Structure 1
């Protein structure tokens, strides 16, 4: 289905074309990082629609749906920004039920949602499969931290200075804009722009 052409859609078509030129076949994972409330989830949704416009099979997921329960987080100490940054996400589950089986392709099934953080409750997993050529667009805070960054084929960061304490910790340790292959300025969401950062 052809999307209505807007400045935002035109921009995202350019990003999609760039990514597909490098990773057009097989399974590809696109990770979108950015500060709290920076627009990364909507960016992921819209980018997925642009990929679908190009007749690609696309799956969407958010790291928000791979939280540890409050009880599990409490094992790591008091409820602080540092605890959330380091232990809030169940990275083992993210790898085990989503990233690794998605990479396997074939008949390997994967899960795009495991936990409802708003209810602090597990959700019934829905096991999905897809064709050999498929994309996963994953958004969430801290996805471009060093220990996760190598999992992704394409790394997108939403530009913005960290305000939330957990984001400040993350950026002090590893600014996702320096790890990203694409940095997007969403200060005007309907007219996004590309930003370039020197990692040297």
Structure 2
């Protein structure tokens, strides 16, 4: 029996289309946030590829934890059409995809037009690893699952699934 689950590219395209429902034109800034910066980077690379499939110019940036200058060094130049990183500049309808950790923190969450929170859980029955205090504090106080535009369960990066949180 054939599986009916979506492929990774189908999920990425679905997320791209969801982003475009709310941000049809102009320079759009997207954040991919996770506790694992490498997972966020890989997911953001695939998302950027999906966004670029239709010829949209895409700029990628990875941020260090608590990048205090992200507004001045990445977002403001992008929105002004200036070069960011290795890019030559952003045309009028470009998309900037930023990856990193702690991207839903109050001081930066307003920078994003669209954001993705990558949730990652250990397999059922496996012990949950103890998180560092900074990560526990972030999850408890910032609540990135509630702040994100989209939640993706990414425990198995080959089979990520969009999760619809119920906050009632």
Answer whether TM exceeds 0.5 for this pair: yes
> Is contact 1:97-1:110 (8 Å) kept?
no
Report Cα offsets for 1:85-111 as digits up to 9, x if no partner.
Answer: xxx5331x2111211121123xxx243
Report Cα offsets for 1:15-60 as digits up to 9, x if no partner.
Answer: 1111112212110000011112572111000000011112110000
2:63: which partner in 1?
63
> SS state of the match for residue 32, structure 1?
strand
Report Cα offsets for 1:128-167 as digits up to 9, x if no partner.
Answer: 4121110000011111111211110001100136823321
Structure 1 spans left out of the alignment, 5+ residues:
1-5, 65-87, 113-125
1:48: which partner in 2?
48
> Is contact 2:59-2:84 (8 Å) kept?
no
Q: How does the TM-score come out when normalised to structure 2? A: 0.83
Within 5 Å, give how 1:47-196 maps onto structure 2: 47-64=47-64, 89-91=66-68, 93-105=69-81, 109-112=82-85, 128-160=88-120, 163-196=131-164
1:78: which partner in 2?
none
Deviation at 1:127, TM superposition (A): 6.8
> Is contact 2:37-2:100 (8 Å) kept?
no
Deviation at 1:199, TM superposition (A): 4.3
* Greater C-alpha radius of gyration: 1
> Is contact 2:152-2:162 (8 Å) kept?
yes
1:9: which partner in 2?
9
Within 5 Å, give how 1:30-49 maps onto structure 2: 30-36=30-36, 39-49=39-49
Which aligned segments of 4 or more residues in structure 1 are displaced greater than 4 angstroms?
none
Higher RCO (CA 8 Å, separation ≥ 6 residues): 1
2:3: which partner in 1?
none
Q: How does the TM-score come out when normalised to structure 1? A: 0.71
